[in-house]
Each structure stands twice: as structure tokens, then as C-alpha cells.
Structure 1
Amino acid sequence: MEYNERYDLLLNQLTSHESIYSRLDEEIFRDYKQMVFLFLNHKRKYLTEENILSRYSEGMTLEKVFSQHQGRFMQSSNVQKGDEMVKTWYDIYGVEYIEVNDDFFDYFFIIKIRHLDLLEVDNYLTYHLENSFENDKQKFIRFLNLSVRKYDEKLLTHKIIDTIKEWIVSTEKITETSENDKPEKIKGRMQREAGDKLTSLNLTQTALLIQFMQEAKIILKGDDLTYTNAGKAFNILTGYSSHTLRQQLGTKGDIAGVKHEDYKELHDAIMRLADLIGTHVRKK
């Protein structure tokens, strides 16, 4: 299963749906906005006046933006910029992916279920089992049970709760027929940190490498090697998160956030590899 905006937790989509629910229950929407504020605060996703105005045409003022988009921006604390303190805001309709390791993932996971048709709940749960919890059924089922217990009828209907419980029972009964159903424990695999330089390519450059290797037919592509499985393979080889690699690749292999420097770094790494191979070619 590939990157899927229908089931991934995307902040702007969640907020749009919750704003509709607010017509029925304003208190729940107030709680929702508070959770978004906390999420963005933990991620330090604040915007300065300059950040906000850069999205609009010349001549736009902050007052006009706030007037046209009432309720979109929530003021945060001031931050140090150079020699002065500047005001900041959070965009509750911002395009932010909420992933399993993020704070408050459980809350937004439950919120997302509220927006789905009952017939989609099974697919949603299966999607996150495979892509957020990497087929760790025991961990995911425990997460579901605790989340349902935590939010219960305040956020979920009886029908949704029953459907989740039925999915759990059905999943627990499935006989494990593939080693991929449970992530393999590989001794010595480390957790990567930004800038650790354990490998010569960063995560974005690694995703680019996967894309170019597929285009060059060095590795399989398409149905023969989905982005999910490619992410798992390169997780073993590089330590980068398979889920994040899959999201980087997207649905069409369009790598998010690629800069010219990324292409250059990848090119230089490939040239170093070619030189290493060349030494063996020249020996003959």
C-alpha cells in the first residue's frame, strides 16, 4: 500500500473536517484547536509575519490576512530573531503530516476515523498497521485498545468503536503466513539522527537514489517493488525510517523538498562509487 492522502494524517484536512463538526459541537472544536496548537508548538512550526506575508501578493498586510482567514492563525509566544523579539503564529490549516512518533498522534488518529465512512474504517486501520506500525500487530492492537479506551464516546460513536473491535478480532485470528507480518529484529540496527553522517547520503538523497536506481533498472520498480517495500529494504541498509522514506517517494516518485545540493551530493557519491569499481576494472 502506497502513500495515501485519504488515510494519512494531514493537518489541513483534519482541520477542515473538524471545522464542519464545530457547527454541531463547538466545545470539541475548541479542544481540537488546542491540540493542534500543542502539536505545532512541540514541532516548533511557528510562523513570523514575514513567513505569513510571503504567501500572498505584494501589498497584503497581516491585518488583511487575518481578516480574510479568520480563525486560521493562532498567536504563539514571541521568539528571538536577531536582536529583537518578534510575534509568531501557528497555522492550524498548515500542510503538516502527523506521524506515529509525533506527540499527540493518538488523538489525531482517532479524529481521522471520525471523518471516514464506516465502510472505510477497516482499510484505514489496515493502512496504518502496514505503514505506521510496520505490521507489528501486537503493538498496533494495543495502541487501538488504549486509544479507544482513552477517547471512548467523547470522540467516537458506538458504530465506530464496534467496527474497530471487530477489526481487531479479525486481525488477531489471521494466521501468520509471512515473515513480513512482523518486523524482523536485526541486531545492531541503530536509530538515525539528523546530521549523524553514518551514511554519505541524507534521507532525501537516499530517496532520490531509490528513484534513480529504479529508473535505471538497477532495482525493481512498480508492482514488483512498491515504495513501501523499498522503504523497508533501505531502512535495513541505511537505518532511515521506512515510513519516512515511503512518504518521501510519494505516489509518483516525486521526492519532497529536493534541492540542487541534493542532486550534487548524490552525483558525487555515485562518482566515488564508480571510481571504486573502476579500480577493479583497470586491474584487468
Structure 2
Amino acid sequence: MAHPANGALLWGSAVRAALAFLLMLPAAALAQGGPQEVDVALVIAVDISYSMDEDEQRLQRKGYVEALRSTAVLDAIARGPIGRIAATYVEWAGSNSQDVVVPWQVIEGPESADAFAERIAAAPIRRAYRTSISGAIDFSASLFSKIGVKAMRQVIDISGDGPNNQGRPVTAARDDAVARNITINGLPLLYKRSSYMDIANLDAYYRDCVIGGFGAFMVPVREIEQFPDTIRKKLVMEIAGISEPAPRLEPTAAQEKTSCLVGEWRWNERMGN
């Protein structure tokens, strides 16, 4: 027959072992559970080429800052299956001009959204030469391998006011990204034509040459006053995974197919290289 004191010692040892096991559970579960999950990983890729003057850049940046803090966007995040997203903010121009302004951050409520928006607002305004949408797509697509979370969807939100005129063909970059299950949505800016490089049917160009992937869409900005409202609606659609925009946002200026090399041709014709 076991001595009562020995039984007490054994019981105490068992309790301590159980407590030690329970204390180790969070770390073990984290190690085995894999990366954090988000509804969508979103690259916000913004054109800063010289065709965008500083006032336009400030307005565009303000549009994203206000949108990320808006009730509509926060509600869209909260209503997702997981209730959080990951986002990064990138500025781009020519083939060798892409910069991460705000690195990947998980957004799951007002505080994290405000922190992300504040970093966008605090960054200095800058401009750079040329327009390489293909370079922007390639750079943005590469960021998904550095995200550190598991995303149900991967989306590149790319804005711009002109066609690709440097780097590899935009369709090649688009197709490579789509082959990796990345969706590319577009925000073509049509409200100003200030140079020979601008094209009247930029919305059709984005439709035919830039966007792609499951549920891809583009929302043109035809008047500069539309910027804030359009950016907010576009972010809500991307976060919610809406594959079709509202009809009044969707119309394009031309239904015929657009040449996807029009930017390169115009540049070569004007500059001779």
C-alpha cells in the first residue's frame, strides 16, 4: 500500500507537469498553426510620374488616407470572413522607380487603419521619370512573397494617368501575375491630358491591357473631384471581393480593342529611343 505522503508528492508533481504543459501550449500552437490569415492582401500601387503634379499627388494620397479611415472601408474589413486585411502602399514611375512607402501591415480596426493612413500622410511627396506599369506590376507581385501572412486573395490596386512607356510589355507583366492567382484592378485617371504621351481612351487601355485575374475590374476617374469618393468605393469593392463594379462606375470611352503598345510607340516617335 502506497504511503499517503508519497501519493501527495505524486499528485503535486502531476499538477506541476500539467501546468507546465498548459503554459507551453500558446507557443506550441503558434508554432504549429502557421501564419496569420487575412481576407485579402492588397498592394496599393500609386503613380508618381511627372505627369502627376504635386497637387494631384496630394489629392490622390489624401483620398487613400481618408478612405482607409472611413466607416465604409472599416465596415468592409469587419464583415469579411476573417475580419482583417493586409496592405502595403507603393509609389512607382519608371522601370527602376518603385518604392514601398508603407510596408505590409495587418489592418483589423480603426487603430490599425489609422496607423497605416498616418504613415501614408507623413511620407514626403516625390516625383520620378517615365511610366512603367509593367515594372509596377512586377514589383508589386514580388511583395506577396514577403508578406508573412496567409491571404485568401491577393490583389494589386494600380492607379495611373498614362500608358506603359518603359520596361517590358504591360501584358507580359499582367499575364505573369495572373498566372500566380493575383488579381490586378485599375484606377485610370482621365481628367487631364497635358502631354503627347496621354491617351484619350486610357480607361479602355486599362480594361484591355492592365487589369486581369479573377473578378478584375477598373474604375475610371473622369473628374478630379471624383478622387476621394472613387478611391473609397474601389477599396470597399476590393476588400469585399466584389467582382463587378456598379454600372455607373464601369463605362469605358471606347469599346474597340486598344493597342497595348501605344505608350511605347508614342515615346519612340517623340524621343527616338
What is the TM-score when the length of structure 1 is the normalising length?
A: 0.30
Larger radius of gyration: 2
Q: Which has the higher contact order (CA 8 A, sep 6+)?
A: 2
What is the TM-score when the length of structure 2 is the normalising length?
A: 0.30
Task: Tell me which protein shows more helix as a share of its residues.
Answer: 1
